[in-house]
Every structure is written in C-alpha cells, then in structure tokens.
Structure 1
Amino acid sequence: MATNPAKVPDISIAEEPGILKQPKAVWAVFFACIIAFMGLGLVDPILPAIAEQLDANPSEVTLLFTSYNAVMAVAMLITGVITSRIGMKRTLLSGIVIIALFSGLGGLSNGIWELVFLRGGWGLGNALFVATALTAIVTLSTSGNAKAIILYEAAIGLGISVGPLIGGSLGAIIWRGPFFGVAVLMVIAFLGLIILMPKTNAGQVTKKKTSLSDPFRALKHRSLLVLGIAAALYNFGFFTLLAYSPFVLGLGEHGLGFVFLGWGILLALTSVFMAPKLQQWFGTVMSMCTMLFVFSLVLLAMGIWTSTQWVVIATVIFAGALLGNINTLITTAVMNASPVERSTASAAYSFLRFLGGAIAPFLAGKLSEIYNPRIPFLVGGGIVFLSVVFILLNHGHIRHVDKAEGH
C-alpha cells in the first residue's frame, strides 16, 4: 500500500494550479455545499434558546447533534450504493430535498424529542449530500484533486462561518427561524443544481455498482482504518466545542452568532491558505499531529478557564484556525491512504468520524449535569490528545501518505 494504482492518482495540495478555473458543475456543487453547511452553524446560536423554550436540559438539547451525526454515520455506508445507481446529481438533489423537508418540519415542532427525531432525518439528507458533494467536486474538478479538496473545505468553512450569523439574527426573533431559514436556503441550492449541474457530466449512473459491504472491506486497509479512528477521536473534540460551548459562553443569539462567525472565518481561511503550506513544509502526518495536539491544549484551556468568558470566546474563535487545517489535512490523507475508490474510502472514513461526532454532544451535556461545566472540555481535550498518540503509534501504516506527496 505504499503506492496507489493508476486509477487513483495521489494527491498533493501544493502541486496543481488554477483552483478558480472550474466548470459550472463544480461551482454549482460548491454553492450548494455552502448552503448545506450553513445548516450546521445556523442552529448553533439558538441551542440555549431551544433549551429554554422547550424546557429541556443541555444533554437533551445536545441530542440534536447526536441524532444528526449518528444517522449521518450509518447513512454514509449507503451513499455509494445510492450514487452508483441513480447518479451524483440525483443523489445530491435527493439529499437537499430531505434536508429542506426535515428542517422545515423542525421549525414546526413543539417538543425536544420531536425535534431530535427530525434532526436525525436532517442527518440522512446531509449524508447523501455531503459524501456525494466531495466525490462530485473531486471528480468534476479540472484543477487537480488536491485543489478540489481545498475548494470543498472552503465551502464548508464559508457555510459554517455565515450560518451562525444568520442563525443568530433569525433566532433572536424566534428560535424556529433558523430551521425555516435552512429550508429556504436548501430550496435555493436545489434550484442552483438543477440549472447549473449538467446531466451529461454529473447525473450519469456509474457502470460499476457499489455494494453495502464495500466500505467495510475498505476498512481492511490499515491506513484507512487508522485515519478513520483518529478522525473519530478528533471529531469528539470538534463536536464537544460546537455543541456544548454555547451553554457556557453566556451570550445571546446575536453574540453566539458573531463568535461562531469568527470561528468559521478562520476555519475557512486556514483550510484554503494555511493547510497547503503546512503540508508542503512539514508533510501531512506531522502537520496533522501538531494541529491536533494544539487543539487538545485549547480544549484543556477551555476546561480550566470555563468561568472566564473572554477566554472561552477567544479559544473558540482560535480553534477555528486549527480545525480548518485539520479538516483539510485529514481529508487529503484519507484520499491518499488506500487503493480503493475515493467514494468508497470517503464513505468508510465518514462512518467512523461521525460516530465520534454522535457520542460527544450527548456525553458533554451529561458530564456537565453530573459533574460541572469544566469536565466536557477536559474529556474532549483528552480524547483529541489520544488521536495524536494513536496516529504516532500507527505511523508505519500511514507514512506512505507523505511519500505519495513527495515528502
């Protein structure tokens, strides 16, 4: 597994020029990605408001992320099966329709458990869209696979950064507002894909049908398994910060919106501009471990100074810079990790990483209720640190990632 076969060429972030020279289909998916990931950030500023309005405690409200990520994790296993039978364009459109439907119904719900169930449906739509969007951008891009991944991560960053600002504004009016806002935005994304994404390029059905067992077979490659487990541990920290920090920041909807706007802007900028430089200078694995280690220290700082508002605000925003780098570096490493088809590798990897994102939110809420508000951040930091240890212990299985990129 030191080299990849010809059908899956290696990715190096810094090699291919022309990231802005893309066909219309790529920009259509890029635009839809921004809107889809607005949905993640749109809800974040209203978590305390949902708890108050629906008389729910933090562990119940954080289930909105747990159900979302749990369904996404399982659904990732079937995205390849669906895409190989109905094509990328129809899969993307199906995901958008499901997101719009369940987010709209979420805005009409009157109980926390009803809302948790509907967020699970939202996760199903997001799984179909997210996994297929990455494959679509990488497949259709004309500027090289590495730049396509950067474009995808940039769309995620832009969506996550703008989402909280819109969510805070709508949430200040009524907590249901952001749910209806997502539904409207997804309708716009649907129209954009219908108009801009041509059938001949993106709607065709692949000749080779993917089976349900393919992602599990892909995990037999130790390199992919190592990165998937590391990503699950990392996502535990990611969603501890995203789902739980609004409860300790002590800010209203507008304030939370601005904090996560800064977080998202740094995430977007570093994923596009800083991650390529880190990979070029230090290699993917070393850069990834360094960023993960610093992120674990950030969560530790949040746990120590939980009651100091300005420290928590500063660390949340600074964490965005680390997460942008980590996201791009891990995604690039996964695409180089094994000789399986990229869509299958993405499905297997996403299944593992979203399992971490499913466990963390609920556990963070429970730990805060049983012990104190500091414990979720301390546990999250410890688990992210474990991801560094795990990568270093298994470095021999993923060292070819750097060799493939010329390091």
Structure 2
Amino acid sequence: MSSHQGTVSPFRQPKAVWAVAFACVISFMGIGLVDPILPSLSHDLHATPSQVSLLFTSYLVVTAVAMLFTGFVSSRIGAKRTLVAGLTVIVVFSALAGASGSISGIVGFRAGWGLGNALFIATSLAVIVASASGGFAGAIILYETALGVGIAVGPLLGGVLGGISWRGPFFGVAVLMAIALIATLVLVEPTPTPARKTSIAAPLKALRHRGLLTMGLTALLYNWGFFTVLGYAPFPMDLGTLQLGWVFTGWGLMVAVFSVWGAPWLQARLGIAKALYLNLALFAVDILVIALFTDSLATLIIAVIVAGAFIGVNNTITTQAVMTVAPVERPVASASYGFVRFIGGGLAPYAAGKLAEHYDIHAPFYVGALAVALGIAVLATGHKLLAAAERAQVAEAAGQAPEQREHETLERQAVAEDVGSAS
C-alpha cells in the first residue's frame, strides 16, 4: 500500500501554501535558468567551460553549507521572517549577477544567491508540510511539483531572455522573486518563534543517524550524475540559446510529470527500496548512453530529456523517505540531507569541465554514470531502514499524526543511545 493513496487532492491548498509554492517555483528556476546561456557566457566572457560551471558550484556549495544554519536562524526569528530574508537575498544577488561584467563577479554573486536559496528552500519545505492540506505525502507532492515546474520553466525563460542578452535571465529572476517576496509578505501569516531553539551543530549531529547519512550519501552520488548532465551537457550539444532552452524545458517537464505521477505509481507497485534501486540503475544507464554517444546530437538530446524522468522519481521518493527515516525533527533532517546532497551537485559541474579538458567530452559522463551506480551500493546498506520508512508512511496514511510518530521515534532513539552508552 502506498502512502500516496488518499481522497484529498494535494492541489487544494490555502492561499499561504500557494504563495510559498509560487516562490518555490521561482527559486527552482534558478537551477536550470543558466543552462541555455552557459555556452554564450563562455564565448562572451572568454571563459572555459570549467570556469563557467562555477556558476553551479558556487551556488550549490554555498547552499549546502548554509543549509547547516537554516534551522538555527528560523528557530530564532520564525519561519516567515526566514522565508522573507532568503527571498530578499536572492532578489539582491540575482540582480547583482545580471549587472556584473566578469565571470568571477557572476560566480561570486551566485554564491550570495545560494545563501538566500538555502534560507528559503529549507524553510519553505517545512512551511508547506506544516500548512498544507492532504497530509505529509500531499505536501511533498506539491513541493516536488513546484520543483518540477520551476526546473521546466527555468530553461525556457533562460533561453528566451538569454537570446536577448546573457544578463536577461538574472534580471528576470530578480523581478519574479520580488513578486514572490511580496506574495509571501501579504499571504503568509506571521509565524511564532519556536519555543525550542535549534543549535548550529544539530544538522551535523543528525548525520550520526545511519538512515539519514545513508540517504544523504546516496543523494550526493546521485546528484553528481544529475548535475553532470545539467551542468555540462549544454557544451557538447553546441546549440543556440533558445534551442538549449527548449531541450532543457523538455527535461524539466519530465521531472515535473514523474515527480507528481510517476513516483507515486512506481512506489505503489514496487515499494520504496525496489523503486529507488530500479530508478537509479536506469539513470546510470541513461548517463552511460550519454557518455557513449556524446558525439550524436539526436541521442544526446533524447537521453538528456529522458533523464528528467529518473530525476523526478528519485526526488519525490527520496525526499519522503528522508523525512520519515530520520529520528530527528523534519527541519533538521531537511538541513542535514540538503547539506550532503548539494555538495555532490556543486562539485560535479566543475569536475566535469576539468575532466573534459584533461581527457575528452565523454569522460565526465562516464564518471557521472559510475557515481550513480555507486549510489545503489550505498543505498543497499540501508535496505532495512527503507522498509521502516515505508511502514512509517503507511502509518501516516492510516491517520497517525506526524508529531506522534516523531515523538515515538525520538523516544526509541534516546533509549537506544542510552543502552549503547551503558554497554
């Protein structure tokens, strides 16, 4: 039985949830927005592909590190103020990136953008989960839908605006994020400051839990393959800005469709563990096809678009599993998981550029396929934990409150730690 089964639609939500979801869409646009303009940035600013790929690296590595501090901040100023702070930072730094005249300046401002992104995305997931109707699974589907739509629309917007100027996508995000900021200020009710403060060390301490660490390392390896495709595939395609926008829009649409419909369908029939094993294996094969046929434009385009299906399935199933497998509060679990997985996503594009420079254009994708395959081996070490996560999701679908399950899980964890220390 899948936890996705239910009678309440995940798309019937309060206005505040839609405001945050809209901001999520714009935020996730930032991931694929720069894809269509990577070659033109390389040409216009006389930068190598590895230098241009630092737009991903600075953005995602800073996002990863900043994730460790999101709980500390939000537990002291409240969720709404944290959302507003994150959105404001994104507006400022995306505009500064558009105004910059050098690749180093853009990379630096993308790092600031990553700081705002971390404050926003970690808190937005917690706000949607807490406020959405339709239960935890419905909230995750809504969140992943926002991710998919943002990833799908981002490349198209980047292609259209990038066809005018490479500065256009950055200024476009600044305007859209300003709209999202206003919507959040108006529609999201003020949130009280939590009674319990989260320490800076909490996300790192949470990684002592085997389930969270296993899922995080699996996501790191999976994201290595994901961002190798996203960050380096535009270069061997050798297409125009708008053409690249359409290719990655097709990829993003696959992410959205399989996040919302493909993942629940697959999990209902195979369960969490088998669905993830199969999905990761197919994704590794898809990247291997890209590695073998990088010189074939048609094959490359098709394989990149198809990759979106595997990314969509993995994002939805893994996010739910992480939130249920970790014996810590969900915001802390989200921060810990985000820290580990974004490290892989941040390093992969830069490594891909360097591998291509030192070997050939096939090498980055061979390494990406190997990384995803290694992710399967890491995930297999936590097979029993995935079964426990599935039972927890079924229990929630049956009506057990998330807070009750989290309290019981924390109690069991405390007992286990006491027994371990005594022995």
Which consecutive residues of structure 1, in runs of 5 or more, have no partner in the other structure?
Answer: 1-10
> How many Å apart are 1:406 and its aligned residue?
4.2
Q: Is the 8 A contact 2:214 2:381 kept in 1?
A: no
**C-alpha distance in 1 between matches for 2:174 and 2:193:** 28
Q: 1:49 is matched by which residue type in structure 2?
A: S
Number of the residue aligned with 2:39? 48
Does 203-212 or 372-381 show the bigger shift? 203-212
Determine whether 1:371 maps to 2:359.
yes
Q: 2:353 is matched by which residue type in structure 1?
A: G
Q: Is the 8 A contact 2:145 2:260 kept in 1?
A: yes
**C-alpha distance in 1 between matches for 2:393 and 2:126:** 20
Q: 1:208 is matched by which residue type in structure 2?
A: R
Partner of 2:42, secondary structure, is: helix
**C-alpha distance in 2 between matches for 1:51 and 1:42:** 15
Select which of 105, 127, 130 maps to 2:121. Answer: 130
Provide the TM-score with structure 1 as the length reference: 0.95
Q: Is the 8 A contact 2:32 2:151 kept in 1?
A: yes
Q: 2:59 is matched by which residue type in structure 1?
A: Y
Select which of 82, 89, 92 maps to 2:80. Answer: 89
Number of the residue aligned with 1:334? 322
Q: 2:321 is matched by which residue type in structure 1?
A: A
Moved >3 Å (runs of 4+): none
* CA offsets 1:201-223 (integer angstroms, 9 cap, x no match): xx221111100111122111101
Partner of 2:34, secondary structure, is: helix
**C-alpha distance in 2 between matches for 1:87 and 1:243:** 34
Partner of 2:253, secondary structure, is: helix
Select which of 147, 158, 169 maps to 1:156. Answer: 147
**C-alpha distance in 1 between matches for 2:21 and 2:167:** 27
Determine whether 1:236 maps to 2:224.
yes
Q: Is the 8 A contact 1:237 1:381 kept in 2?
A: yes
Q: Relative to 1, partners in 2 of residues 1:91 and 1:172: Cα closer, same or farther, differing over 3 Å?
A: same
Q: 1:288 is matched by which residue type in structure 2?
A: L
Number of the residue aligned with 2:137? 146
Determine whether 1:215 maps to 2:203.
yes
**C-alpha distance in 2 between matches for 1:348 and 1:35:** 23
Select which of 95, 107, 112 maps to 1:121. Answer: 112
**C-alpha distance in 2 between matches for 1:12 and 1:350:** 23
Partner of 1:347, secondary structure, is: helix
Across the two proteins, how many residue pairs are aligned to each other?
394
Q: 2:130 is matched by which residue type in structure 1?
A: T
Number of the residue aligned with 1:6? none
Number of the residue aligned with 2:243? 255
Determine whether 1:77 maps to 2:68.
yes
Q: 1:123 is matched by which residue type in structure 2?
A: G
> How many Å apart are 1:238 and its aligned residue?
0.7
Q: 2:229 is matched by which residue type in structure 1?
A: L
Partner of 2:133, secondary structure, is: coil
> How many Å apart are 1:24 and its aligned residue?
1.2
Q: 1:178 is matched by which residue type in structure 2?
A: P
Which consecutive residues of structure 2, in runs of 5 or more, have no partner in the other structure?
Answer: 396-423
Partner of 1:399, secondary structure, is: helix
Q: Is the 8 A contact 1:14 1:277 kept in 2?
A: no
**C-alpha distance in 2 between matches for 1:17 and 1:122:** 36
Superposed CA RMSD in Å reads: 1.3
**C-alpha distance in 1 between matches for 2:5 and 2:326:** 20
Q: Is the 8 A contact 1:19 1:143 kept in 2?
A: yes
> How many Å apart are 1:16 and its aligned residue?
5.8
Q: 1:320 is matched by which residue type in structure 2?
A: G
**C-alpha distance in 2 between matches for 1:230 and 1:22:** 32
> How many Å apart are 1:128 and its aligned residue?
0.5
Provide the TM-score with structure 2 as the length reference: 0.91
Number of the residue aligned with 1:184? 175
Q: Is the 8 A contact 2:90 2:113 kept in 1?
A: yes
* CA offsets 1:260-291 (integer angstroms, 9 cap, x no match): 11111111011011111111111112111111
Number of the residue aligned with 2:15? 24
Q: Is the 8 A contact 1:137 1:148 kept in 2?
A: yes
Q: Is the 8 A contact 1:16 1:144 kept in 2?
A: no
Q: Is the 8 A contact 2:251 2:307 kept in 1?
A: yes
> How many Å apart are 1:110 and its aligned residue?
1.2
Partner of 2:33, secondary structure, is: helix
Determine whether 1:296 maps to 2:287.
no
**C-alpha distance in 1 between matches for 2:347 and 2:62:** 12
* CA offsets 1:90-131 (integer angstroms, 9 cap, x no match): 111111111111111111111111111111111001001111
**C-alpha distance in 2 between matches for 1:338 and 1:46:** 39
Q: 1:12 is matched by which residue type in structure 2?
A: S
